[in-house]
Amino acid sequence: MATFLMYLALFAGQYNTLQGKPVVRLHPHQDSIPVEFGGDLVELMNAPPQVRLPPPRLVDSHGRPWSIEVRNLGPGTVTIVGKAQFHLEVPVGHSVSIKATDAGYSSGR
């Protein structure tokens, strides 16, 4: 019973964390993420093998540090590409966070 409650608490915590971000979907076969998606959860479905990030901005339209969460819904692995040698592979079913920095972009899984 304790294990079940622990899993339930972890699930609820993750659900609440992602609920605070607007979810946007990249149009199928669109190969770039618009700068306006800063602060959003971007879902990729039928995306091309490579998707480009916009030129780095340090803040989004709300004045917060520019960042996105990317979730790949398939059907294949997608490589996110930005300036300054930023390349990040996102397998199907995985999510990553990407944020703009002074040097370009950085990521976390």
pTM above 0.75, yes or no: yes
C-alpha dihedral (53, 56, 62, 68), degrees to nearest 10 = 40
Residue 2 sits at φ, ψ, to 5 deg, of: -65, -40
Q: CA 100, CA 107: separation in Å to the nearest integer?
A: 9
pLDDT at 71: 97
Domain 23-108 matching CATH 3.30.420.40: the answer reads: no
- Note down pLDDT in tens along the chain; length 109 residues: 655 544 455 555 555 444 578 999 999 889 999 999 999 999 999 999 999 999 988 888 888 999 999 999 999 999 999 987 899 999 999 999 999 998 899 997 6
Domain boundaries defined on the chain = 23-108
